């Protein structure tokens, strides 16, 4: 039988099994149940630890494996024993059958997360950055604009009496990521402060129609179509329960001729927020 066809059959069976188990299937149970050759898909050679003569270690959370979540091909495996080598920018796991450390091919990994909460994703951009390597960055703020941290360790000469060896010195760099572009920043505090200090200007037309059916406080909120003329302003808006929302102008007349109104609960942000200016606000 053709060996290549045999392996293809095995891999097809593996992928079918992964899909059938879904995201609730754990890494260890996959090994035990049906994936004795799973390492051929995601891992490279047997992993070797740095020499024992080195002082310290290259890992993020210590020498011991930490349980985590590993995402490959949009499938997440839980309870995966993981080590993140910050010096090589590599991810290492432990083979439960052969009882050895194995290196996970970085191009197969989309993301991984430790139980402590650190989430790492792989990015293909930023290749000119000298510590980019395999592209694993911690995501400390997710969204349209992300704040990323690149953790790395440099190998440095370590000297003591009668001994010269190596040690690992930890460092980190911070980046904004937006629309596939990286921008380096000084530190994480600067990044988070900047994200909190966004001054946004939103017009009424940015939020019309008000799609807030899932927020009880704004149920059935709408701006009425009827125009309240200036002459009737006090009559309709004087109580404060019904407030002006949309000013109405007529071409050729240099002033507002009236307003369309809505309930105060729909338009007054101070009912559930604050009108106190933040420190960064510039008039």
Over residues 142-175, the pLDDT tens digits come to 878 888 999 999 989 988 888 889 999 999 998 8
CA distance 94 to 70: 13
Q: Mean pLDDT, to the nearest integer, of 15-19?
A: 37
Domain match, 217 and 257 both: yes
Domain end point (choices 152, 174, 196): 196
- Asked, for residue 17, whether it belongs to a domain, the answer is no
pLDDT of residue 190: 62
- Other C-beta atoms within 10 Å of 19: how many? 11
Domain match, 141 and 252 both: no
Tell me the CA distances in angstroms from 254 to 100, 229, 249, one per residue in order. 80, 15, 8
Q: What percent of the chain has pLDDT over 70?
A: 70
Residue 13 φ then ψ, to 5°:
-65, -40
Tell me the CA distances in angstroms from 142 to 60, 139, 177, one per residue in order. 21, 6, 10
* Closest C-alpha to 143, from 195, 86, 71, 211: 195
Give the domain extent around 89: 22-196
- Asked, for residue 282, whether it belongs to a domain, the answer is no
pTM above threshold 0.75: no
**Long-range pairs, 238-241, Cβ under 8 A, ≥24:** 240/264
- Asked, for residue 276, whether it belongs to a domain, the answer is no
Domain match, 190 and 224 both: no
- CB half-sphere exposure, 197, CA atoms < 13 A: 11
CA distance 40 to 28: 16
Domain match, 48 and 158 both: yes
pLDDT of residue 272: 75
* Closest C-alpha to 237, from 210, 258, 207, 217: 258
Q: Which residues pair with 137 in a beta bridge?
A: 121
Q: Are 45 and 103 in contact (CB under 8 A)?
A: yes
- Asked, for residue 181, whether it belongs to a domain, the answer is yes
Domain match, 158 and 252 both: no
3 state SS of 6: helix
pLDDT of residue 66: 87
Domain match, 82 and 161 both: yes
pLDDT of residue 2: 45
């Amino acid at each position: 039988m053709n060996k290549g066809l045999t392996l293809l059959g095995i891999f097809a069976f593996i992928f079918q099994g992964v899909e059938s188990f879904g995201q609730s299937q754990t890494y260890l149970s996959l090994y035990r149940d049906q994936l004795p050759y799973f390492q051929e898909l995601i891992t490279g050679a047997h992993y070797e630890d740095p020499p024992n003569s080195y002082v310290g270690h290259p890992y993020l959370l210590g020498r011991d494996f930490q349980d985590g979540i590993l995402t490959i091909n949009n499938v997440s495996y839980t309870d995966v024993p993981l080590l993140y080598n910050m010096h090589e920018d590599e991810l290492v796991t432990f083979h439960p059958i052969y009882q050895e450390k194995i290196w996970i091919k970085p191009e197969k990994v989309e993301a991984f997360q430790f139980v402590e909460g650190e989430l790492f994703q792989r990015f293909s951009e930023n290749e000119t950055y000298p510590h980019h390597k395999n592209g694993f960055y911690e995501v400390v703020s997710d969204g349209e604009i992300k704040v990323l941290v690149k953790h790395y360790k440099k190998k440095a000469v370590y000297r003591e009496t009668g001994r010269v060896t190596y040690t690992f010195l930890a460092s980190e760099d911070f980046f904004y990521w937006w629309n596939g572009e990286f921008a380096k920043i000084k530190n994480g505090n600067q990044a988070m402060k900047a994200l909190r200090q966004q001054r946004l200007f939103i017009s009424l037309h940015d939020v019309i129609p008000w799609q807030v059916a899932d927020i009880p406080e704004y149920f059935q909120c709408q701006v009425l179509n009827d125009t309240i003329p200036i002459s009737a302003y006090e009559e309709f808006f004087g109580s404060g329960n019904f407030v002006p929302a949309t000013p109405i102008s007529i071409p050729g007349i240099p002033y507002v001729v009236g307003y369309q109104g809505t309930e105060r609960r729909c338009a007054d942000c101070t009912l559930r927020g604050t009108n106190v200016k933040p420190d960064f606000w510039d008039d």
